[in-house]
Amino acid sequence: MKMIKKYFVISDIHGYYNEMITALNKNGYDSKNEKHHLIVIGDMFDRGAQSKEVLEYLYKLNKEQKASVILGNHDNFLIELLDGEYFKAIFNIRHNGTGKTITSLLGIENTRVSELEDVRKQIISKYPYLYNWLKSLPLYLEISDYIFVHGGIDGSNSDWKQKPAKEFFWSRQKSLEPVKGKTMVVGHSRVATIRYPKANYKSLFISNPEAFNILYDNDKIFIDAFVEISKTINVLVIET
């Protein structure tokens, strides 16, 4: 008989390690339980203060085949930095929280453009596995009747598997058809912004924290809890 396995699905951790561990523990995840498998639907880094801890935790589980990690757009930001794309990197430092990732990984505050080459070299030296690991992460994962992807997949397009990488982590599943016969499980689009597109989200969390919970929408499941506001990570548990 095939072993029953529970999949614990999270996304958009954004450097909030403590919140990730708290949420996983609350939902019964045990990394030592061979029947448990963690699925991370992208965006490990940026915005929070503990990207290093998130990286080290998930990298170890992934290498032990206890976790599957899908590439998100913020993970790709780190690839771009390590590729030496400094124009993109400085934009992400200013607007997308990548400076917090650099601080967490290296202890360097307020990175300037002139320092980016040195920052890149230091990250490569301190985390020699990081670049190749990020580059190896899949864009989506199919398990049974589910497809896990960071941003979205246009299921109306029969050659969706051949689309450019950026479409998988930048698209918004809310506006796309799911792949026929599959349930799409996605991050990227914060659940509260789908329910309330024009809200003040700090106020919304105080008045209606349930708006940040997992959203089930026919053949689509959205799980991004907007951790910067909610200080929590949604955990979708699937048992097969």
Q: In the prediction, which pLDDT does 110 show? A: 87
CA distances from 172 to 43, 140, 206 (A): 15, 14, 26
* pLDDT tens over the chain, length 240 residues: 357 699 999 999 999 999 999 999 999 999 999 999 999 999 999 999 999 999 999 999 999 999 999 999 999 999 999 999 999 999 999 999 999 999 999 999 988 888 999 999 999 999 999 999 999 999 999 999 999 999 999 999 999 999 999 999 999 999 999 999 999 999 999 999 999 999 999 999 999 999 999 999 999 999 999 999 999 999 999 998
User: What number of other Cβ atoms are within 10 A of residue 1's Cβ?
Assistant: 3
Domain chopping of the chain, boundaries: 6-239
Q: In the prediction, which pLDDT does 113 show? A: 86
Architecture of domain 6-239: 4-Layer Sandwich (3.60)
Q: In the prediction, which pLDDT does 4 show? A: 63
Q: In the prediction, which pLDDT does 240 show? A: 80
- Strands, E, within the chain: which ranges? 6-10, 36-40, 67-69, 140-143, 146-149, 183-190, 215-217, 220-224, 236-239
